[in-house]
Amino acid sequence: MIADNPIFSGGLGLMVFGGAVAVLRRGVKVAASTAQRRLLISLEIPSKDRAHPWFLHWMAAQSRAQSMRERGLLGKPKKEGLVDFLGLRDRSGEQRHGSSLKGGVDNPLMIASSGSLVSPVRILSHELSVETNYTPHASASKSNDEERGKASFSLVPGPGTHWFRYRGVWMRLTRERDGKMVDLTTGAPWETVTLTTLFAYAHLFPQMLDEARQLALASTEGKTVIYTSWGPEWRPFGQPRRTRELGSVVLGRGKKEAIVGDVKRFLERDRWYAERGIPYRRGYLLHGAPGSGKSSFITALAGHLDFNICLLNLSERGLTDDKLNHLLSNAPDRSILLLEDVDAAFLGRQQAAEDGYQASVTFSGLLNALDGVASGESRIIFMTTNHIEQLDPALIRPGRVDMIAELGDAEEEQVVELMMRFYRTTMREMALKRLELPHAAIEAAKPLITQAAEATDHASTEIAYKSLEAVAGLREAVEQTDAQLSQLANELGRIVAAEAQQRRAALGLGPDGRPLAASAQPASQSSPDATGASSTTDLQRALRPAPAASGGVSMAELQGLFIRFPDDPQAAAKAFVGENAWRRTPAGP
């Protein structure tokens, strides 16, 4: 009988056992998969998402804080019980504030604006990457490697699987990179970050991303981020820059106040625009000779408003009308769009460059991007040009350009203000040293001098002078120094004005820096035609704005002069006179 055959019965038993094991194995997989779907939840953060750099910054800050805690720089970590270690206690409602630090140590998890800390975590990882932070020395003359700068190294989680507890809940962090795709902006491979935790704690994901956003934005607080276009999107260019004080840019009388006031009124009237059905956007055109402060003013304005700058080059390779419209409509929040030298972008657009390349952006495409049907709203656009007379009137009509401001050569009042701003604090500190006061009194008086130097009108100046009376003899010394510097600044202002007249006369320009009337078209060419109307050419010429004043002394030239003599205004004035006299001296045989 087959049933009595031991070989058959043994084989049948093995077959049944193997089948049972296979079924059990499949059942375990199905059960595990079902349990994972039911109990776990995952969040994917691709590198193209805006939250990806925020999370990487958060992760790097956590790694730096972890390293500092291990060295005792951030204090001892709080002891946790078994329940906390197992992640069975949700601490998402806890509020954290700045902890005590050792002197001179900045907590990388601190949000300066609110004074709070993001939730600290300890990342468990065996696959690390290095992140190097290098701070160059302020002096470029240092030759010793140790004196050239300071470098710090943070070991951050690299590609692979890592574990950490966020607010008492265990999470798995997975970084996966695609070696076949590369981010052209950074050269790094495209990657995906995946976070996994229990389904019951899914509400922690938005909290973590919000913390990452706040921490990343705090790192650029008080700084200006410059964006440039990379394909169809905006990417930060370099490191965030220190904001420039608006008062450091000296413009003609009332010009700075007019532009700043107009921008602020625009930012406050979004509802006013909506109620009247007007597109909420505003355009500005700054024109003037090179070195008149156009770009410097826009940079300072962005810092004053806590805005960033989106720099767009209309001649960039690969930029098309569609991409231009997309970029102008999708600029980062609180950003100023800057189109520099718009006159050069289309000046020879019909002629290809020497290498055969020709820009793809058309003039009509730019006009449609500025105020077409598909153009974006909630934006501020600044355009700059050195030659406004070469711009097409269609580009600068109201609706595309709402305010035009000329920033010309240095005027006498600008020279005085710039010199006072450059040397006032320095000269006051030198006067303080001449008083031969005790060191403690000198250090106590320096903040008073700085405060007095920031006064902008007569009332605030008088209040600042009164504050100097706290130190005997300081007010008299400061007033005397200010009077001497003011006299020197007024004298230099007159010298600069006279030099500008000589330069313009040599160039055949009028006293105002514009072409003389003699260079205008002859009367025969501008006379009416047979119908009594002026020619189309004359009408177009009349509609074009007049060129900016030029041929004089630029603000950039004066600023460079003062930088060369940072502590001696008299030497700066003498150098200006001597160098310009030498330029006019005829060359020898």
Beta strands in 389-477 (DSSP E): 403-406
Annotate 395-431 with b (16+ C-beta within 10 A) or e (fewer). bbeeebbbbebbbbbbbbebbbbbbbbbbbbbbbbeb
- Examine the pLDDT at 293 and tell me if it is beyond 80: yes
Residue 450: what pLDDT? Answer: 66
In one letter, which amino acid is 445?
A
Which sequence spans correspond to the domains of the chain? Answer: 42-219, 234-350+357-406, 412-511+545-584
Residue 551: what pLDDT? Answer: 87
| Cα–Cα separations (whole angstroms), residue 320 to 233, 311, 323, 327 | 13, 16, 5, 10
The residue ranking higher by pLDDT, 212 or 3, is 212
Residue 26 binned pLDDT confidence (cut-offs 50, 70, 90): confident
- Examine the pLDDT at 224 and tell me if it is beyond 70: yes
Give the C-alpha separation, 119 to 117, whole Å. 6
Across 188-193, average pLDDT: 82
Reference 569, options 466, 473, 457, 486; nearest CA is 486
The pLDDT tens digits for 275-284 are 999 999 999 9
Residue 83 binned pLDDT confidence (cut-offs 50, 70, 90): low
- Examine the pLDDT at 7 and tell me if it is beyond 90: no
- Examine the pLDDT at 461 and tell me if it is beyond 70: no
The residue ranking higher by pLDDT, 67 or 473, is 67
Give the C-alpha separation, 51 to 213, whole Å. 7
**DSSP at 11:** H
Residue 484 binned pLDDT confidence (cut-offs 50, 70, 90): very high
What would the two tokens of residue 482 be? 């200010």
Dihedral angle over CA of 240, 245, 251, 254, nearest 10: 120
- Examine the pLDDT at 265 and tell me if it is beyond 90: yes
Mean pLDDT is highest, among 72-86, 458-472, 571-585, for: 571-585
Residue 264 binned pLDDT confidence (cut-offs 50, 70, 90): very high
Reference 163, options 210, 118, 126; nearest CA is 126
For 215-224, 356-365, 501-510, which range has the lowest pLDDT when averaged over its residues?
A: 356-365
Say if CB 555 and CB 414 are below 8 A apart.
yes
The pLDDT tens digits for 145-181 are 555 667 777 778 889 999 999 988 899 999 998 766 6
For 345-349, 393-397, 464-468, which range has the lowest pLDDT when averaged over its residues?
A: 345-349
The pLDDT tens digits for 341-366 are 888 877 654 445 555 555 678 888 88
Residue 122 binned pLDDT confidence (cut-offs 50, 70, 90): confident
Domain 234-350+357-406: which topology? Answer: Rossmann fold (3.40.50)
| Cα–Cα separations (whole angstroms), residue 240 to 104, 114, 185, 322 | 23, 21, 16, 29
For 63-72, 355-364, 509-518, which range has the lowest pLDDT when averaged over its residues?
A: 355-364
For 29-43, 174-188, 272-286, which range has the lowest pLDDT when averaged over its residues?
A: 174-188
Residue 514 binned pLDDT confidence (cut-offs 50, 70, 90): confident
- Examine the pLDDT at 369 and tell me if it is beyond 70: yes
For 104-108, 486-490, 525-529, which range has the lowest pLDDT when averaged over its residues?
A: 525-529
For 146-160, 195-209, 413-427, which range has the lowest pLDDT when averaged over its residues?
A: 146-160
The residue ranking higher by pLDDT, 536 or 128, is 128
Q: Which residues contact 155 (CB under 8 A, 6 or more apart)?
A: 63, 67, 128, 129, 130, 131
The pLDDT tens digits for 519-569 are 444 443 344 444 444 454 454 444 567 788 888 999 999 999 999 999 999
The residue ranking higher by pLDDT, 480 or 131, is 480
- Examine the pLDDT at 87 and tell me if it is beyond 70: no
Residue 496: what pLDDT? Answer: 95
| Cα–Cα separations (whole angstroms), residue 74 to 31, 81, 101, 178, 480 | 45, 21, 5, 37, 50
In one letter, which amino acid is 383?
M
